[in-house]
Amino acid sequence: MSVDEQVAIFLHMLAHNIKNRVIICNFYRSGETISRLFTRVCNAVIRLHSHLLKKPEPVLEDSTDQRWKWFKNCLGALNGTHITCRVPLEEKPRYRTRKNDIAINVLGVCSQDIQFIYVLPGWEGSAADGRVLRDALVRPHGLKVPRPGYYLVDASYTNGEGFLAPYRGQRYHLNDWGHQPTTPKELYNMRHSSARNVIERCFGILKGRWAILRDNSFYLIDLKNIIIMACCLLHNFIRQEMAIDPFENEEPDQGTGDNGDDDDENITSIGTSNEWTTFRDNLAQTMFESWNSTH
């Protein structure tokens, strides 16, 4: 079988979540051949991770991007998402989410241009997002957060060095309701939400493109984790090669990565920090003073 045909079958299965017996009829190949080549192509894509994962680029001091210019040195945004999976009956309690789905908790980190920087699939759906992030930071080839860089995170994470969270107890999506901010914290949360939304868009496009991630597939957990990583890498490849991503405006509502930095220059833990609390307060006040001067 030619490489082109193998890749075509692999992409067809990812995009439509089709069972082997359907592929057998469409491509006139045996079930054993389909299963073997699917795993082969999937592993080949994974081996390209060092080329396809986006290298983080901090927001520059002279940035004019209205969404990102306030977050100097920001590397992007991160969050977790759940992807349904198939696990043995005795393991279902560990993979059961708060919505009662059986799913994998996937940590995703993306850049400002909606490309994955780091992906960590495999954690049980019951695992807290903060626990998954802590694991990503201590892995030998895990998530690297070089100082003074940081990522935008939601309120489920701790505001600390390397991870800038919104204020809790403050309105977050003001624009959705047509309200104007009245305090520095509200304005900060509004702009934080606008920038951090990039990770939600990234997950939305990913699931919109690959049906195998939207529905409970026919693959056991170990292979499903590899499939998730392959889909993320292919997402990056498409974003890099296509000037316009056809899925960007059609997203639904809803690791491997090593930047090769010295560990002494990276953040390896997450926790509360008075320095970062002050940094956030000063940033919110600066935003509010600038906003008041133009309104």
Residue 257's pLDDT band (cuts 50, 70, 90): very low
What pTM does this model have?
Answer: 0.89
DSSP state of 247: T
Write the pLDDT tens digit of every residue in 170-213: 766 555 555 677 889 999 999 999 999 999 999 999 999 999 99
Question: 54 Cβ partners below 8 Å, 6+ apart?
Answer: 110, 111, 113, 115, 116, 117, 236
Rounded CA-CA distance 203/208 in Å is 8
Whether 205 and 214 have beta carbons less than 8 Å apart is answered as no
Write the pLDDT tens digit of every residue in 12-51: 999 988 877 787 887 788 878 888 999 999 999 999 999 9
Residue burial 51-82, b: 16+ Cβ < 10 Å; e: rest: ebbbebebbeeebeeeebbbbeebbbbbbbbb
